[in-house]
Amino acid sequence: MEDGYVPPRGVDVSTAANAANTAVSNPATNAGSGAPPKAISFRELLKLKAFRRLWLAQLVSIFGDFLAIFGVISLISFRLHGTPLQVTGIMIAYMAPLTVVGTVAGVFVDRWNIKRVMISSDLLRAVLVLLLVFVTRLDYLYAIFFGVSCVSSFFGPAQSVTLRTVVPVEGLLGANALMSQAFYSARIAAPAVAGGLVALLGEKSCFYLDSASFLFSAAMLSTLVILRPASAHPNATSTGAQPAEASVNSWTHQFTAGVRFIFTHEALSFVMISMAAAMFVLSCFSPLISVYVRDFLAAGSLLFGVVSSLVGVGLIVGTQMVHFLARSRPHSHASVAGLFGLGVAVALLGLTGRIPLTGLSTFGMGFAIAFVVVPAQTLMQRETPPAMLGRVSSAFLSLLSLAQVLGLILSGYLAQSLGIRNLFKASAVLLLVLAVFGYFRVREA
């Protein structure tokens, strides 16, 4: 039981373990109802050795990623004297492959050994990031980040499948909340650490640490025992073996089957659109908030830093609260509530020009996004048949990346044509309309 679910006191261990395994391997027993099973606590989740190691690997590697991103941005800005477009280009080079490669990566993840996929991805990324130490040309920097992103396109869906495999279904909401907390905590803490490292040791120190973080992640993942049922493999034979090769027609059929599953599942398609809308708004917000602080609040970099941090604080608090507030409600309903809250927070940002309300708005944005993202990820993992979980999760990641790229690219043009505050108001109206539409679409789920 060391790597498995630890049942609450008073529950028969064998019965609880069998129920958990059945729920994980057969989501059809819960599909369609949308009602989440009784959740287990964060403490119980962290007692699962497999999940704890997966979570720790995520925390360390994500922290290393943010160090590397900060180091590259510092290198381009202060050593290469790059333009804002060249700085933004790094983020686009990193996110664009997630949109394109990620769309099809899930088909291969559903065929391959997911433990090998994750370890190989970590080792390849460790080598690619280490190359940053030796290059200073912009085109090489873009190419390396492009390559890291291509490899990450396979790691993301494989990690989602692993999470579904090592955590019982009643723990998925809490597990996704803890994974999100690791991401957002690293996002808040890493810039300060990276700034000190760059000042003391230079940008290369960030790259060395990021490479080491991938090696640490690979070491953690190598200790996991991931037992995926034979039925989870789309090409498995009656004995569970998979053919060495698959035809193009088979590959195309599996890809389209995954897409068809998403858009014929009402709750799943809605939360997927909700996540994309939330990420688009956040990506529009990120490059414009400094101008908003300067022009409408008549303030400087200190307030800009505080306001930006409040988004991350809201995200962390939201991921804590969603585990308690959403576990007794259908996850699709929680995403509707999060979308509505995000619309209200963005509207407040567009309607007010006061500093306290701006802080409340940005905190509310982060808090609401947690209620969109965490339940959506959990619903996807719970409702998707194991045989296509890689495809569906990669489609989620691809759509999120596309929304973020479009937000980064279009935010400047939209703000210039509409005005920043009008852009926030228009975004709020779209979010609220989508929330109302979603309420009527999934209220019977």
Domains of the chain: 37-228 (1.20.1250.20), 248-445 (1.20.1250.20)
Asked if 61 contacts 217 with a C-beta cutoff of 8 angstroms, the reply is: yes
Higher pLDDT, 211 or 198: 211
Q: What is the pLDDT of residue 215?
A: 96
Query: In this predicted structure, which of 124-133, 256-265, 371-380 has the lowest mean pLDDT?
Result: 256-265
Higher pLDDT, 219 or 267: 219
- Of 430, 415, 441, residue with least CA distance to 276: 430
Higher pLDDT, 353 or 240: 353
What is the average pLDDT across 1-12?
Answer: 35
Q: What is the pLDDT of residue 255?
A: 64
214 pLDDT above the threshold of 90: yes
39 pLDDT above the threshold of 70: no
What is the average pLDDT across 76-101?
Answer: 79
For the record, the structure tokens of 45 come out as 């989740």
- With bands split at pLDDT 50, 70 and 90, how would you rate the model's confidence at 247? low
Q: What is the pLDDT of residue 220?
A: 94
The residue whose two tokens read 């991805």 is: 121
For the record, the structure tokens of 346 come out as 């963005």
What is the average pLDDT across 76-88?
Answer: 75
Spatial distance between the Cα atoms of 175 and 166, rounded to a whole number of angstroms: 10
Q: What is the pLDDT of residue 150?
A: 92
**What is the model's pTM?**
0.71
Mean pLDDT of the chain: 78
Percent of the chain whose pLDDT exceeds 70? 81
- With bands split at pLDDT 50, 70 and 90, how would you rate the model's confidence at 151? very high
Spatial distance between the Cα atoms of 345 and 100, rounded to a whole number of angstroms: 31
Amino acid at 59: L
Q: What is the pLDDT of residue 229?
A: 58
Spatial distance between the Cα atoms of 343 and 73, rounded to a whole number of angstroms: 31
